[in-house]
Amino acid sequence: MKIESYSFGLIKIDGKDFKSDLIIYPDHVDDKWWRKEGHLLQMEDLTDILALQPEVLIVGQGMPGLMKVDGKVEEYCRNHNVELIVLPTMEAAEKYNELAKKKPLVLAAFHLTC
């Protein structure tokens, strides 16, 4: 999959526009994703994605980077050899496109607004 563009509240992936927060899996996009607490990414928000044991998990924190990642997520990733990359969504989208070409199991969770 390729992210073609991102702007506040809108991301285009493989020719399709998405207007809600989402997870990019290797074979599909889940645009029904939402977190327990809007601006805090917690373990329970990532149950399905972490079950796939990704090599890399890229988190887009929103345009200005307001969404934070709970320390338990960071600890889990460290302990399970998951490279966690946390960036504002524009930078995270660029990093996703770069790494998805090189590594077989790169997953991404993107907050599209603040």
Model confidence pLDDT, tens digit, residues 11-63: 999 999 999 999 999 999 999 998 999 899 999 999 999 999 999 999 999 99
Q: Spell out the SS3 assignment of 19-64.
A: CCCEEECCCCEECCCCCCECCEECHHHHHHHHHCCCCEEEEEECCC
Summarize pLDDT for 78-93 with one digit per residue, the tens: 999 999 999 999 999 9
Please tell me the predicted confidence (pLDDT) of residue 114: 86
* Domains defined for the chain, CATH in brackets: 3-111 (3.40.1230.10)
